[in-house]
Every structure is written in C-alpha cells, then in structure tokens.
Amino acid sequence: MGKRSVLAGLAAALAATSLALVPATAAGAHGVSHSDQYKRVGYFIQWGIYGRQYFVKNLETSGQAARLTHINYAFGNVDASGQCASADPWADYQRPVSAEESVDGVADAPGQALNGNFNQLLKLKKKHPGLKVLLSLGGWTLSANFSNAALTDASRKALVKSCIDTFMSTGVFDGFDFDWEWPGSEGNPGNVIRPEDKQNFTLLVAEFRKELGKKAILSAFLPAAPAKIDAGFEVKKIFKYLDFGSVQGYDYHGTWETTTNQQSALYVPRGAPTTPDFSGASSLKAWTDRGAPKRQLVLGVPYYGQGWTGVTNANHGLFQSATGPAPGTWAAGNEDYKVLATLPQQGYKVYHDLLSGHAWLFNGTTFWTFDDPVVVAQKGLFVRLSGYGGAMIWSLDGDDANGTLTKTIYTTLH
C-alpha cells in the first residue's frame, strides 16, 4: 500500500473517530519527545481587528493559542529608507482595548505605554508561557524595499538595528519571520528586484542571527515554485541561520485561471489539466532536493478557499470551465473556512479526493476548493510520517469560533 493510500485511510479513520490520535512518545535528540518537536505556526493579521472583528482575544476563546507553538504577527514594514516600521501603529500599539476585547478582561488604562495588539499579545503570552511570537516582515504588499535594505553591509546592519530597536524593545517578540516575496523574482508589481537578492537574503538573515543571538527565533515564508527557489535562495546556507521555513502550501490555482482546480492539494490529483503541477508534497520536496533539512520545513495550510462561479456541471465541478470568481465576503473568489463550512447547509455538497488530499464544494454552478478537517488531518499525518517539521496557518482568523482546524493540526502534530 502506498503512502497516499495510508494517509487516505488514516484521515478517514480520524474523521470517523473525532480525530482522536494518540501522540507519539518516542524520545528524540537530547531526551526531547519526538512529538514535542513539531511546530504549529499561525499568522495573526493586524488588520483583522477592523472589518473581520478578529482580536487577539479570539485566539484564547477559540482554543487556538493553547495549541500553537508560534504566532507570526503580520506585518511589519521595511520602509523606503530601509528601516523597520509599523505598518499600522493604531492596530499595533496605539488603540485602547476595551475590557470586552481584552485577553484577560482588563481594559487598557489611559496613558499606559503599550496598547493595541502588542499589549494583548503580551497578555496572551502570560497565559501561555511556551508560546512564541514573531514579527513577520513584508508580505505581498510590503516587500517593495527589501532588495534595497539588503543590498550592502551597511544597509543590512541599519535594517537589523532598526528592527531590534523598534520591535524587540517592546518585549512582545521572540524573533522575526521574513516574508520577502520574493528575492530575485517578481512578486507584487513595483517591487525592487536584483539578481544579487539571492546572496543578500542569506547575508541579511545572517546579520539578524549575529545581532540577536541563538535564543531568538528566525523563520521565513518560502515559495513553492522551483524557479523562485532557484532565483532567490541559497538553500543550504539559509538554514544555518533560520530555525525553520514555512513552505507555501496554497494558491497553487485560483480565479486568475478560468478552469476550476485545487489550490492546496497534498498530491497532484489524477486528471489534473496542468503538467507539471504544484502540490504540498512536491513543494516540500523541491526544497529538500536543494538541501533543506526536512525537520526545518513547515507546510503551509490555508484557512480559506478559492472559488469560481458559472462552472460547467460535470465531474462534480472539478477541472471545469468557469465564467469568473465566486462572490466572497472580503474579496471575489476568496472565502474563509468558517464560512465555507456552512455551505453544505445551503445546497452544496462536499467532495474529497482522499488519495490526493484535497476537498471541494459544489452546488451545480459554484465551486470552492478548500481544506476541511479531513484534509488538514491528512496533511498533519503526512508531515508526521515524512519527517517534516510541522504546519503553518494562513491565517488564524479564517478558522471557526471553536478553532476546529487548529485543533485538528494539534491532534496530528503534538
């Protein structure tokens, strides 16, 4: 029986038994339990406090905080002067938080030094002393100035000093997550790109490690595409400085295409119209093939789906032509898991390809590719059985109020 069949059977069994998995107990290096070494990393978006009404407190009430090892706070900015800066000072540290929205039920006092999300994260860490919080730098829309900031020894030193002075001084953060999208290759239009970004990324991470020391945590968000890996990353070198890297496990397909497809399958499905195609397994393998240590690679898991409408009613909607993106709450063609999970009560049917590790919803005309608890369990089992380092979540606000997906990750990876 192949690995795909094993994972399919285990995921189905887990789903049938409410995801009850006995954690591994084999001792690893230095007497640490092998099961304690998995990283469960979730991105918290600073702008979620606005329209989404998703606060740091929700990490506590949903049970997510108790089941994570790291929170990546998204995002900090590298500004045009090559300095670290807050992307939203009001959300980060200025906004007074009411008692109702506070982690510990205590409102921010007038005149206190630190308010906003930062103070709430401090309160969350007091409740969960083992939880680490990283400041994620960049992201899709804030990567424009990375190349300039990393260009010379002097500019790298200046950036690192400003990041330490601006963010580490708050006492909130245990390190940094580098979300430079992408060194040496195109990301958001207008980003500065240079061939030497590849070497300069290594030098930048090395400078952070030098100044912060071994106790600080450094991670990076890493692309799935082999071309972007080769253009931007000295793979064998960067993992000397990074604690781990989160590999993009989603956005493999979406409504920029006119054919419905998987956005986050564990393996490439049979009959896929794109060859070669992306998958979670192949994306991780692209990194190990280039020398990345398995235990330092974390698989990204989406808490949202990609959707099309005007879909041909054949093959349960999979690999069919569509007229455009499906309506979404915050953006066309995009919807949170917590909303998608309610669609079976609205005439949609859930379909699983257990061998490939992906799921979708279809109602005869609208199609959503998404990760449900069965798929998330498969991915956790795959990480566990294949010797990888854990799972990463984009983003925590997409889960339901009970933290169902996060609890599934914890069940399979603790």
- Tell me the domains of the chain and their CATH numbers: 3-304+373-412 (3.20.20.80)
Are the C-beta atoms of 373 and 15 separated by less than 8 Å?
yes
Active-site hit among 60, 100, 101, 181: 181
Task: Give the dihedral sign, CA 324/395/46/336.
Answer: positive
0.85 exceeded by the pTM?
yes
- Residue indicated by tokens 């107990």: 25
Q: Which of 55, 53, 42 is nearest to 376 (CA)?
A: 42
Phi, psi of 264 (to 5 degrees): -160, 35
User: Which long-range CB contacts under 8 A does 160-163 form with residues at least 24 apart?
Assistant: 160/204, 160/207, 160/208, 160/211, 161/211, 162/82, 162/83, 162/84, 162/85, 163/76, 163/84, 163/135, 163/137, 163/208
Which residues is 173 bridged to in the sheet? none
Which pLDDT does position 223 carry in this prediction?
A: 98
Are the C-beta atoms of 116 and 92 separated by less than 8 Å?
yes
Which pLDDT does position 385 carry in this prediction?
A: 97
Whole-number Å distance between alpha carbons of 173 and 208: 14
Which pLDDT does position 12 carry in this prediction?
A: 64
- Residue indicated by tokens 């369990």: 377
Phi, psi of 241 (to 5 degrees): -110, -30
Tokens representing residue 399 in the block? 């889960």
The HSE-up count of residue 38 (CA atoms within 13 Å, CB side) is 27
Which pLDDT does position 7 carry in this prediction?
A: 76
Are the C-beta atoms of 294 and 386 separated by less than 8 Å?
yes
**Per DSSP, which regions of 338-403 are E strands?**
349-353, 358-362, 367-370, 390-394
At 244, which helix (H) or strand (E)? strand 244-247
Are the C-beta atoms of 322 and 378 separated by less than 8 Å?
no
pLDDT digits (tens, 9 = 90+) for 105-120: 999 999 999 999 999 9
With vertex at residue 113, the alpha carbon angle to CA 107 and CA 116, rounded to the nearest 5 degrees, is 50
Give the CA distances from residue 366 to residues 81, 192, 331, 347, 361, in Å, rounded to whole numbers and listed in that order: 46, 38, 16, 11, 8
Are the C-beta atoms of 342 and 235 separated by less than 8 Å?
no
pLDDT digits (tens, 9 = 90+) for 146-190: 999 999 999 999 999 999 999 999 999 999 999 999 999 999 999
Give per-residue burial for 332-354: e unless 16+ CB within 10 Å, then b. Answer: ebbbbbbbbbebeeeebebebbb
At 239, which helix (H) or strand (E)? none
Whole-number Å distance between alpha carbons of 413 and 42: 14
Tokens representing residue 60 in the block? 């506590």
Which pLDDT does position 26 carry in this prediction?
A: 30
At 365, which helix (H) or strand (E)? none
Phi, psi of 149 (to 5 degrees): -65, -25
Are the C-beta atoms of 316 and 351 separated by less than 8 Å?
yes
Amino acid at 226: P
Q: Which of 250, 210, 278, 241 is nearest to 43 (CA)?
A: 250
Query: What's the DSSP call for residue 259?
Result: B
Consecutive 10-residue averages of pLDDT for the chain (414 residues): 75 56 32 58 98 98 98 98 98 98 97 96 98 98 98 98 97 98 97 98 98 98 98 98 98 98 98 96 98 98 98 98 98 98 98 98 99 98 98 98 98 96
Q: Which of 88, 223, 197 is nearest to 145 (CA)?
A: 197
Q: Assess whether 181 carries a catalytic annotation.
A: yes
- Cis geometry, peptide bond prior to residue 102 (ω within 30 degrees of 0): no
- Residue indicated by tokens 């399958």: 265
